[in-house]
Amino acid sequence: MEIGHHPGIPYHEAPSDLPPDHRLSPGEWVRQNLFNNWYNSLISVVMGLGLAFALVQTLDWALTSDFLIIRRNLALFMVGQFPRDELWRVWASLYLLVGASGFGSGVLFRSEQADAEEKGLPVETHSWSEMLRRFWAIVAISIFFVSFARTLLPYLGLVVGFGLFVVGRELGRRLSPALRTRGLFLSGLAGLASLLVLAGTGGLGALAVGGLLGVWTLSEVRNYAEQHGVGSGQPVPVSRRVWRWHIRYPFKRRVGARLASWVAGVVVGVIAWFVLRTVDLSGFGWDDWGGLHLTLFVTVVGISAGFPVGVLLALGRQSKLQVVKGICVVFIEFSRGVPLISLLLFSSFMLPLLFPITFGIPGPLTRAMIVVTAFSAAYIAEIVRGGLQAVPRGQIEAAQAGGMSVARIQRLIVLPQALRAVIPALVGQFISLLKDTSLLSIIGLLEFLQTSDVANAQTEFLGQGLVAVTYPFVALGYWAFAYTMSKESRRVEERLGVGVR
C-alpha cells in the first residue's frame, strides 16, 4: 500500500499540476493577484469603482470640453510671444538641434558599442523600437500637441523633425572611428549654433561658438604636429620637413608646435566670433522667448551649466584651502537657504545693480538663467557631496599610492564612483528644476504654465473657467519630460550597475 508520492522519486521532482514556467492567463492573473482573499477583493472592488468613476469623468470632460482655446493659442503655449512671422527660426533651430542630437547620440551609441566589443562585454544592438519605448512619452506628447494645429505646417514640421533625428542618428552610427570625437564636437557646435539661428543671442552665442571652434582648431593642429613627430621628440619624416627650422632646435620645435596651435586656435576663434556677431539678428532677442520652449531651455541650461558648477562647488567645499572652502560653503548655504522666488526677485532688483554698466543691464532671461544655474548648482553640490563622502578612503589611498595627482584622482577615481551613487538623487533634482521653472513668471517671463493664464485672459475666453482645459494640457507637457527623465535615469543606473557591484 503506497500512500503519498512514489518513494523512488525525490519529493521536489514530484509531478505537479502546474508546470513551473506556466504563464498565467489574464483571468487567472486577476484571480491570483486581485481576488485572492476577502480583504484584497474588497480593496480591488473599491479601487476599481473609483477608477471607473475617474475614467468616466475624464472621458466626459474630454468629450464635452471645448478645446478651441488650445487650438487658437497653440503657438502661445509652445513659444510664448515669439514674433509670429519669425516662427521659421524656431523651426530651423529645432531642426538643427534635433539633427545634431540625433547625430551625437548615434556617434555615442556606436562608440559605446565599440567599447563593449573591445572589452568583450555584451554588445547592445541598435533598435528603433527600443528608442521608441524609451522616448514614447515625448513622441506621443509632440504628436498630441501638434494635433491641435489648424494648419498643415506643424504636422509637416514634426515629420521633418523626427526624420532628421533618424537620419542624424543613422549617420552618426556610421561615422568612422577616427572621426567620432570630431563628430561629437560638431554636434555640440551645431546645438549651440541653433541658439544663434533662433534668437540672435548675438555676442554670447557668437562667443560660445567662436570659442569652441578655436579650441577645436587648437587641438587639431597639436594632434597634427604630434602625429608628425613635431614636439614629441620623435624624428620628423623627411617628407614632412615643412617645419625645417624645428629640426635643428629640438626645444624650439616643441615650443613652436605649441605656439602654432595656440595662434591657430585664437585666430580661428576670433574670426568666427566676429563673423557670427555681424549676423544681424536685432529686434527679437531671447527675451521674446516663452512657452514650452522657454521652460525646456531654462531647464537644460540649469542642468548643463549647474552640473559642472555644482561638482566644482562640492569639490571646493572639501578643499583644504580655507578661502575656497569658505566661498563654496557661503554660496551653497545661501542659495539653498532662500526660496527660489526670492532669488529670482533678488535677480530683478539686485543683479542689475551689481553688473558693471559697460556690459549693459542683462535682460530678464539672462538674469533668470544665472539664478537658476546658481540655484541648481547649490543643490547639485550637496547631492554630489553626499556621493563624495560615500567613496571609501581606501580608494583614494590606492590611487595616491600609485602616484596619481590630486586632480586625476578626483576625476578618474572619486567622481565616477560618487556620481554613480547619486544618479537617482541628481535626476530627482533635474525634475524638480523643470517644475521650478514655473516660478519664472514672477519676474515677467512667459513660461509654459503662465501661457495658460495668458490664454485665459483673452477677451474671447475670459471668465469661462477654461483653465480646466488648459491646465491639464500644460500638465501633460511637464509630465512627458519629467517621466522620460526618470525613465532614462533608471536605464543609466541599470547600465552602470548601481548597487550591483
Binding residues for another protein, rule: CB under 8 A, are 119-121, 392, 394-395, 397-405, 408, 412-413, 416-417, 420, 496, 500-501
Least CB distance to another protein at residue 415 (A): 10
Amino acid at 244: R
Residue 290 phi, psi (nearest 5): -170, 180
Radius of gyration of the chain (CA): 29
Least CB distance to another protein at residue 453 (A): 47
* Residue with Cβ nearer another protein (46 or 398): 398
Amino acid at 313: L
* Residue with Cβ nearer another protein (50 or 499): 499
C-alpha cell belonging to residue 10: 525525490
* Residue with Cβ nearer another protein (170 or 493): 493
**What gap in Å lies between CA 342 and CA 92, rounded to an integer?**
36
C-alpha cell belonging to residue 207: 562667443
Least CB distance to another protein at residue 126 (A): 23
The number of CA neighbours under 13 Å toward the Cβ of 162 is 15
Least CB distance to another protein at residue 426 (A): 17
Neighbour count for residue 219 (Cβ, 10 Å): 15
**What gap in Å lies between CA 119 and CA 114, rounded to an integer?**
9
Least CB distance to another protein at residue 411 (A): 10
Least CB distance to another protein at residue 379 (A): 24
C-alpha cell belonging to residue 324: 575656497
* Residue with Cβ nearer another protein (50 or 392): 392
What 8-state DSSP symbol labels residue 127? Answer: -
* Residue with Cβ nearer another protein (266 or 406): 406
**What gap in Å lies between CA 402 and CA 483, rounded to an integer?**
43
**What gap in Å lies between CA 235 and CA 241, rounded to an integer?**
10
Judged by DSSP in three states, 311 sits in helix
Helix then strand then coil, in percent of the chain rounded to 5, is: 80, 0, 20
Judged by DSSP in three states, 447 sits in strand
What 8-state DSSP symbol labels residue 446? Answer: E
Residue 23 exposed, middle or buried by CB count within 10 Å (0-12, 13-18, 19+): exposed
Amino acid at 49: L
Residues in Cβ contact with 128 at an 8 Å cutoff, skipping those fewer than 6 apart:
166
Alpha carbon distances (Å) from 17 to 12, 20, 440, 464: 13, 9, 63, 63
* Residue with Cβ nearer another protein (119 or 244): 119
Least CB distance to another protein at residue 402 (A): 4
* Residue with Cβ nearer another protein (139 or 396): 396
Least CB distance to another protein at residue 116 (A): 10
Least CB distance to another protein at residue 240 (A): 21
**What gap in Å lies between CA 315 and CA 406, rounded to an integer?**
11
**Cα torsion 318, 340, 374, 185: sign:** positive
Least CB distance to another protein at residue 226 (A): 12
Are 99 and 167 a contacting pair, CB within 8 Å? Answer: yes
Least CB distance to another protein at residue 216 (A): 23
C-alpha cell belonging to residue 491: 536605464
Least CB distance to another protein at residue 493 (A): 13
**What gap in Å lies between CA 353 and CA 18, rounded to an integer?**
77
* Residue with Cβ nearer another protein (238 or 500): 500
End-to-end alpha carbon distance in the chain: 55
* Residue with Cβ nearer another protein (386 or 499): 499
* Residue with Cβ nearer another protein (190 or 414): 414
Least CB distance to another protein at residue 303 (A): 23
* Residue with Cβ nearer another protein (108 or 498): 498
**What gap in Å lies between CA 109 and CA 171, rounded to an integer?**
12
* Residue with Cβ nearer another protein (36 or 389): 389
* Residue with Cβ nearer another protein (399 or 433): 399
Helices vs strands, H then E, count in the chain: 21, 2
What 8-state DSSP symbol labels residue 413? Answer: I
